[in-house]
Chains A and B, each alone.
Chain A
Amino acid sequence: MPELRKDPILGRWIIIAQERGKRPTDFYVDVSTKSKGGFCPLCPGNEKTTPPEVLAYGRNNGQANTPGWTLRVVPNKFPALVIEGNLDKEAEGLYDRMNGIGAHEVIIDTPHHDASFTHLPPQDLQLTFMAFQDRIRDLSRDIRFNYVVVFKNYGSAAGASLEHSHSQLIALPVLPRMITSELEGCLSYFCYKDRCIYCDIIRQELQQDIRLVCQNEHFVTLTPFAPRSPFELWILPRQHSSSYIDMPDSWLPSLSRIFSETLRRLDSCIKDIPYNFLLHTQPLRTGPLEHYHWHFEIVPKLTSIAGFEWGTGFYINPMPPELSCSYLKEVQL
């Protein structure tokens, strides 16, 4: 019998329609990547094909926009939103509009073209997580921006158009709907219970141990109660914290380790699984929030969104998170 599950934060309903005997290997994964081989604009030596970098690690006083880097951040060469100009907010009757101001940057995770993010050593992943912090801090100084969306598309099915490992961020003058819904849901729970809902989720998941995939001194990885996709994963700090950029440096190694372990577990269940991950953090213009808890959400691209999902906002997930979790935990790394 299918089961309806309600996401306790967003109020979103998910249909868990388990297909009998479905195993991880039964999911079809399109491993074809676009643009195999050929010229890569993200590779060392091709720095002139990208806009000038805004951040680089590892070059040790070398000249900007030259090889020798271990991680590099560049603005999007063909941005959808532009950095120069004013918002010029205006109304047309009941409709609102403003200029398309924003920043779109690409974080080149590694100089090695064939290195997969999943299999990068934790010390290399740490550079990516540091870069996210550095860039959000820098962009937060621009008062036109209210939020920075940080994400990765991994695999062509998840929208990655180049196999060279990269993440992206987009600074926006407005809050994405997903974040406002999440903030509203968290605030509503906080007003009722005077506790952060994510802290309560972590407490319950640690106790029940049926959706807890792995943990270390600062972080936990779990499969959420009402996931949109099989093997959806959340990585959350154990200690309450609403802002990613306030994460102490001492947590970075454990974040990198749990991320690496989580992705390798996922990859061991389904080879070359395409996924998107998204950082959920508080808006730029607020102080620390008692009701919100930053975290990463990793959503594998194993199911397609069709008319029913678009029309209703319901997702149909063929694998319960408890089963996804048990497969992930079984993996011997």
Chain B
Amino acid sequence: MLQKRILIVDDEPAIQLLYNEEFTDEGYTVETAFNGEAALAAFSASPPDLVILDINMPGINGIEVLRRMKEQCPDLPIVLNSAYQQFKQDLGAWASDAYVVKSYDMDELKDTVRKLLT
């Protein structure tokens, strides 16, 4: 069976590395992008099955990336993943399918991804 592809968008190399290992272990194919522009380019080249998207990034922020991706592909599951709760107050975040606050305990993020991909 073809593995589901996840695009991880985060400007923090340690997070990219951690998520890459964890989600590869979960059986997904993982791609990474280090900012909004790179994420949109990767998305345009080949839309993934799910996107995990940081919000606070240099250049185009995650909420803007979310809106642009959803405009082209409304059914693509996108999980916002930020260290901050306060971006939940940004109604632009409503376009996402889930909002998970970053934590070293990755169970919530993994469960969310699993649910959205089944």
Task: List chain A residues, Cβ under 8 A from B94.
Answer: 41-42, 49-50, 77-78
Q: Are A39 and B70 in contact (CB under 8 A)?
A: yes
Q: Known interface pairs A34-B63, A35-B63. Does A41 touch B91 (Cβ–Cβ under 8 Å)?
A: yes
CB proximity of B118 to chain A, nearest CB, Å: 18
Chain A: interface secondary structure? loop
Q: Are A39 and B99 in contact (CB under 8 A)?
A: no
Q: Are B90 and A41 in contact (CB under 8 A)?
A: no
Q: Known interface pairs A78-B88, A78-B99. Does A39 touch B93 (Cβ–Cβ under 8 Å)?
A: no
Q: Are A35 and B70 in contact (CB under 8 A)?
A: no
Q: Known interface pairs A49-B95, A78-B99. Does A39 touch B71 (Cβ–Cβ under 8 Å)?
A: yes
Q: Which of B68, B71, B90, B91 has the most CB of A within 10 A?
A: B91
Chosen A-B contacts, 18 in total, with CB atoms closer than 8 Å, are: A34-B64, A34-B90, A35-B67, A39-B68, A39-B74, A40-B95, A41-B91, A41-B92, A41-B94, A41-B95, A42-B91, A77-B94, A80-B88, A106-B91, A161-B90, A161-B92, A162-B90, A166-B91
Chain B: interface secondary structure? helix
For the complex of A and B, the 5 pairs showing the least CB-CB separation, nearest first, are: A38-B67, A39-B70, A78-B88, A41-B94, A161-B90
Indicate whether B46 reaches chain A with its CB closer than 8 angstroms. Answer: no
Q: Are A162 and B99 in contact (CB under 8 A)?
A: no
Q: List B residues 62-76 near A (Cβ within 8 Å).
A: 63-64, 66-71, 74
Considering the chains assembled together, what is the distance between the CA atoms of A37 and B92 in angstroms? 11
Considering the chains assembled together, what is the distance between the CA atoms of A38 and B70 in angstroms? 8
Q: Are B88 and A35 in contact (CB under 8 A)?
A: no
Q: Mark A62-85, 1 if CB is under 8 A from B, else 0.
A: 000000000000000110100000
Q: Are A38 and B68 in contact (CB under 8 A)?
A: yes
Q: Which of A39, A46, A49, A166 has the most CB of B within 10 A?
A: A39
Task: List chain B residues, Cβ under 8 A from A37.
Answer: 67, 71
Indicate whether B89 reaches chain A with its CB closer than 8 angstroms. Answer: yes
Q: Mark A97-131, 1 if CB is under 8 A from B, else 0.
A: 00000000010000000000000000000000000
CB proximity of A288 to chain B, nearest CB, Å: 34
Q: Are A161 and B91 in contact (CB under 8 A)?
A: yes
Task: List chain B residues, Cβ under 8 A from A46.
Answer: 74
Q: Mark B49-81, 1 if CB is under 8 A from A, else 0.
A: 000000000000001101111110010000000
Considering the chains assembled together, what is the distance between the CA atoms of A40 and B64 in angstroms? 11
Q: Are A38 and B91 in contact (CB under 8 A)?
A: no
